[in-house]
Amino acid sequence: MKILGIRYPFAVLLFWVVAALAAPFSGLAPDDIHLDKILAGPNLGAWLGYDDLGRDILARLLGGARVSLAVAAAVTLATFTFGTSLGLVAGYFGGWLDRVLMQITDVFLAFPGILLAIAFAAVLGPGIGNLILALCLTSWVGYARLTRAQALSLRSRQHVLAAQTLGATTSRILLRHMLPLLAAPLLVEATFSIASLIIAEASLSFLGLGIQPPHASWGSMLRDGTRYLLVAPHYVLVVGASLMSLVLAVNIMGDTLRDTLDVKR
């Protein structure tokens, strides 16, 4: 079971990553419209059928996967760097700086993250750039609080005190003596964050605040497909199953990674 628990989610994630990267070279045309094939079911020419404008669902599904993974990767990289740096500084120095920074994070935590993302996306306007910025503004809090809590305990460790006594610079202490010990919990946090960001991107696109036509997005595909659920159920089912498989695989990987890196085990 342990082997299956590791390999299955990794295989699913690898499949979507490879499919998303290979989509531009597959010869599929996600924006080509075929009026005579509107809402047609799966066939040899289109394995997953056609959407409400006669576009190949498979081609648009791969394009949506590329958008979701790209947005999740970009936001995770930005928020990981910013949130970790903020929490590390706050936890190491403490005092008034810690209180100010943590009060700022408490303001963001007072509201559900998805509601803040919707508010920021509505103010900034639709588009992939504004979508990434809106998600970045709401996703750094978890990294900051986690890093700060760990840094508060690490700053009194003997190896850190020894480095201070030997005259090591603050940047060296933070980067060489504290940050490596934070890698495990931060890696687990980043894994779960990717799954949340995929859902958030789909949610904002579903509401019309994310990726705009003609670019493909799983959220906008779900929104369009719900109007034709009775006459073309394959449209919604394929997109929903794809989104569920990717998010579930990432979450299972996060659980497995957390259990693997748990020192108590």
Beta bridge partners of 50: 56
Asked whether the predicted pLDDT for residue 136 surpasses 80, the reply is: yes
Which residue, chain included where needed, has tokens 């503004």? 137
CATH topology of domain 23-245: MetI-like fold (1.10.3720)
pLDDT at 264: 60
Express each pLDDT in 252-265 by its tens digit.
Answer: 888 888 888 766 65
Express each pLDDT in 16-32 by its tens digit.
Answer: 999 989 888 887 888 88
Residue 74 CA to residue 134 CA, distance in Å, equals 12
Residue 181 CA to residue 100 CA, distance in Å, equals 25
Express each pLDDT in 166-200 by its tens digit.
Answer: 888 888 888 888 988 888 889 999 999 999 999 99
Residue 16 CA to residue 151 CA, distance in Å, equals 36
The answer to whether the beta carbons of residues 46 and 238 sit under 8 Å apart is: no
pLDDT at 223: 92
Which residue, chain included where needed, has tokens 């810690």? 98
Asked whether the predicted pLDDT for residue 3 surpasses 50, the reply is: no
Asked whether the predicted pLDDT for residue 2 surpasses 50, the reply is: no
Averaged pLDDT score across all residues of the chain: 88
pLDDT at 73: 94
For 24-37, the DSSP string reads GGS---TT---GGG
**What's the gap between Cα 148 and its chain centre?**
22
Residues 6+ apart with CB under 8 A from 124: 130, 133, 134
Express each pLDDT in 55-81 by its tens digit.
Answer: 999 999 999 999 999 999 999 999 999
Of 5-14, 117-126, 164-173, 239-248, the least confident: 5-14
Asked whether the predicted pLDDT for residue 156 surpasses 70, the reply is: yes
Higher pLDDT, 132 or 109: 132
